[in-house]
Amino acid sequence: MTSTNNSKRFIRTYNQIDSALRIQGDMKRSISYTEAVRKAARTNSIVAKYEDALIDYGRLRNAIVHNSDPDLAIAEPHDEVVEEYEKIAELICTPPLAVKSNICNKVISTIEYNVSLKEVMEYGYKSGFSNIPIFKEGMLIGVANAGKIAEVIGKKIYEKQDINSFLEKTTIEEVLREFTNDNYYTIANEKITLDKVLNLFTENRKLLVILITKSGTLLEPPLGIITISDIMDINKILDNYEEK
């Protein structure tokens, strides 16, 4: 039997989502709940994923509340409906932090700019890291990405250069200058959530790496790193997320 408390839970969830969308999106109170959902869906991957369901639940809320008293229900939604709505609300209101997720690689070593490409590649092989932050005088100047390094080496082979000499005499800083896309990595602060990580990858199709630092600046050591290959795992985490 459907609990008589379901309507209260449902209305409370509606209010939580409505408030969160307006605060997060800096939206005026004058726009409707449906407008708020559609607007938020443009920049919030979680809202975009559940956009249709959120709008349907908004219509259901309008159908079950008393016209003169928005807190008085004239019908009771099913358990499954309330539970699903609460789950979506949890994701929107308290999304998981990226740096605390198990897909964020926290064991990160950095390399100085004047290290040879050969040493960087050897380190990458031994450590298993395919993305290594490169620092110069305490400032991040790039990320040694294995795929982009392979492109540079392929270019040198095509140009008939001596590869062994290139690997030994070329610094990683010089290699970074040859990377064709300057937008392959970005920096975020420690408060970035997994849904925002998805947004970054969606907004920039060339983005390969997100480095997380305390306040999101070039002058801080990385706390974690997330790559484009983690997208499927991020979606799984969000699908099964329950606030601890």
Whether 112 and 88 share a structural domain: no
Q: Is 228 in the same domain as 117?
A: yes
Q: Which amino acid is at 86?
A: E
Would you say residue 1 lies in a domain?
Answer: no
Q: What is the span of the domain harbouring residue 168?
A: 100-239
Residue-level pLDDT at 117 = 97
Q: What is the per-residue burial (b if ≥16 Cβ within 10 Å, else e) of 40-59?
A: bbeebbbbbbbbeebeebbe
- What is the predicted pLDDT for the residue at 28? 85
Same domain, 118 and 88: no
Same domain, 77 and 127: no
Number of residues in the chain: 244
108 and 173 housed in the same domain? yes
**Band of residue 3 on the pLDDT scale cut at 50, 70, 90:** low
230 and 163 in a common domain: yes
Tally of helices (H runs) and strands (E runs) in the chain: 11, 8
> Considering 43, 59, 94, which residue would you say is the last residue of a domain?
94
Say what percent of the chain tops pLDDT 70: 93
Nearest to 234 by CA among 48, 38, 45: 45
Q: For position 66, what pLDDT does the model report?
A: 67
Alpha helices in 26-116 (DSSP H): 33-40, 45-49, 51-64, 79-93
Residue 150 — φ and ψ, nearest 5°? -60, -35
| Helix/strand/coil for 7 | helix
State whether 189 and 220 are in the same domain.
Answer: yes
pLDDT score recorded for residue 108: 66
What pLDDT, in 10s, does the model give residues 8-26?
899 999 999 999 999 988 8
What does the DSSP assignment read for 112-154?
A: ETTSBHHHHHHHHHHH--SEEEEEETTEEEEEEEHHHHHHHHH
Asked which of 54, 77, 94 is the last residue of a domain, the reply is 94
Pair 116, 201 in one domain: yes
Q: Is the same domain home to 156 and 208?
A: yes
Any residues with CB less than 8 A from the CB of 219 and at least 6 apart, and which?
A: 138, 139, 140
Residue 33 lies in a domain: yes
pLDDT confidence of residue 242: 63
Crossing angle of the two packed helices 194-203 and 231-239, in degrees rounded to 10: 140
The pLDDT, as a whole number, for residue 244 is: 47
In a domain, 135, yes or no: yes
Helix (H, G, I), strand (E, B) or coil at 229: helix
Cα–Cα separations (whole angstroms), residue 66 to 16, 58, 86, 192: 19, 14, 21, 39
Task: For residue 111, tell me if it sits in a domain.
Answer: yes
What's the structural domain count of the chain? 2
- Mean pLDDT computed over 49-58: 94
Residues above pLDDT 90, as percent of the chain:
68
> pLDDT (tens digit, 9 = 90+) per residue, 199-241?
899 889 999 999 999 999 999 999 999 999 999 999 888 887 7
Alpha carbon 29 to its chain centroid, in Å, reads: 28
What's the mean pLDDT in 19-45? 90
Q: Quick check: 238 and 195 in contact, CB under 8 A?
A: yes
Residue 244 resides in a domain: no
Regarding predicted confidence, which is higher, 45 or 74?
45
The whole-number pLDDT of residue 34 equals: 95
- On whether both 55 and 114 belong to a single domain, the answer is no
CA distance 166 to 159: 12
Q: Looking at the structure, do residues 230 and 145 belong to the same domain, yes or no?
A: yes
Residues 116 and 221 in one domain: yes
Strands 224-227, 209-213: parallel, antiparallel or unpaired by DSSP?
antiparallel
pLDDT in tens, 127-141: 889 999 999 999 999
Look at residues 94, 113, 144 and tell me which one is the last residue of a structural domain: 94
Q: Is the pLDDT of residue 44 over 60?
A: yes
The answer to pTM > 0.95 is no
pLDDT over 50 (residue 30): yes
What is the reported pLDDT for 243?
54
